[in-house]
């Protein structure tokens, strides 16, 4: 079914074709030229919770070289959720790295972001051995995963810890992510969830002209979580004010917060292909 009355604000138009789709550590599954390796640790730890949670799965094409990769972070408010390779991104001539990360309240939100940074660093260090290009690593996620995406891409401190320049990311695609300080951070501080805060734990705090290309996607403003479209629209505007031209915002009419991810995936793929075609191997 086509998207219903797709409404969007755009700072940059991307035109590209979406190509059709064709466990335990060390165990792999194969499907039509694609392979999945599961439960790969991206941290070395003897602490049981960390060793359990800090793992990822990678799904990648076997007959494509220098393919793009999407690092995907699940949603769940940073308190729940589980890694999963979105079916809409499977077998699309790209790799997908689905990341598990530690969750609040067992850890603080800073630990969730640090896990996300470690997983992206693992991808930069290892994707070439699977056939992918380190120059074509994109970061994305839904809801809390969108927040992690924006924090890593805009606040360079998180990846600097792992000797990765955030500007080496090919593109950022947060789905319905907070751009203000995350409500779980506010909960940690005893602040009401309806009290907006904008500090260094907010992606908006880190707007900058030299950030990677940014594709913001939300559901319908009337159906989304409280203020989620509006804060993303403000992010779009402030990135423009900061001098960042490659920022785009899409609002998907008729889709609420939980529903918007599925129709957003084709927009992600179009963005990935448009950016990737201008990157030399």
Q: What is the pLDDT of residues 23-80, one digit of tens each?
A: 344 455 565 699 999 999 999 999 999 999 999 999 999 999 999 999 999 999 999 9
Query: What is the number of other CB atoms lying within 10 angstroms of the CB of residue 247?
Result: 23
pLDDT at 281: 73
| Mean pLDDT score across all residues of the chain | 91
Query: What is the number of other CB atoms lying within 10 angstroms of the CB of residue 254?
Result: 16
**24 within a domain of the structure (yes/no):** yes
**127 within a domain of the structure (yes/no):** yes
100: helix, coil or strand?
coil
If one compares 29 and 90, the residue with the highest pLDDT of the two is 90
Structure tokens at 279: 């990157």
What domain range includes position 115? Answer: 7-276
**Residue 143: CATH number of its domain:** 3.40.50.1820
- How many percent of the chain have pLDDT more than 70? 89
**114 within a domain of the structure (yes/no):** yes
**281 within a domain of the structure (yes/no):** no
**1 within a domain of the structure (yes/no):** no
Please report which residue ranges of the chain form alpha helices under DSSP H: 48-53, 109-126, 144-154, 157-160, 183-188, 228-241, 261-276
pLDDT at 88: 97
d(CA 164, CA 66): 19
**152 within a domain of the structure (yes/no):** yes
pLDDT beyond 50 at 1? no
Asked if 232 contacts 173 with a C-beta cutoff of 8 angstroms, the reply is no
pLDDT digits (tens, 9 = 90+) for 250-260: 999 999 999 99
Number of domains in the chain: 1
**2 within a domain of the structure (yes/no):** no
pLDDT at 20: 36
**57 within a domain of the structure (yes/no):** yes
């Amino acid at each position: 079914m086509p998207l219903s009355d797709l409404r969007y604000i755009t700072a940059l138009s991307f035109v590209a074709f979406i190509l059709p789709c064709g466990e335990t550590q060390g165990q792999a599954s194969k499907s039509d030229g694609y392979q999945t390796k599961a439960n790969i640790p991206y941290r070395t730890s003897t602490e049981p919770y960390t060793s359990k949670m800090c793992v990822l799965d990678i799904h990648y094409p076997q007959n494509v070289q220098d393919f793009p990769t999407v690092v995907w972070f699940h949603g769940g408010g940073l308190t729940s959720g589980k890694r999963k390779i979105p079916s809409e991104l499977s077998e699309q001539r790209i790799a997908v790295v689905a990341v598990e990360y530690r969750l609040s309240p067992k850890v603080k939100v800073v630990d969730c972001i640090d896990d996300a940074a470690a997983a992206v660093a693992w991808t930069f260090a290892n994707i070439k051995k699977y056939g992918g290009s380190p120059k074509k690593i994109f970061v994305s996620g839904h809801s809390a995963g969108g927040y992690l995406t924006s924090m890593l891409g805009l606040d360079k401190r998180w990846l600097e810890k792992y000797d990765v320049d955030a500007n080496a990311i090919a593109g950022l695609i947060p789905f319905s992510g907070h751009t203000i300080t995350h409500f779980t951070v506010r909960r940690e501080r005893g602040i009401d969830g309806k009290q907006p805060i904008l500090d260094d734990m907010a992606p908006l705090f880190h707007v900058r002209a030299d950030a990677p290309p940014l594709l913001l996607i939300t559901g319908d403003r009337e159906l989304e979580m409280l203020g989620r479209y509006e804060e993303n629209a403000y992010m779009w505007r402030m990135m423009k004010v900061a001098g960042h031209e490659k920022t785009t915002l899409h609002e998907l009419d008729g889709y609420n917060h939980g529903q918007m991810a599925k129709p957003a995936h084709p927009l992600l793929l179009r963005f990935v292909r448009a950016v990737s075609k201008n990157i030399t191997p």
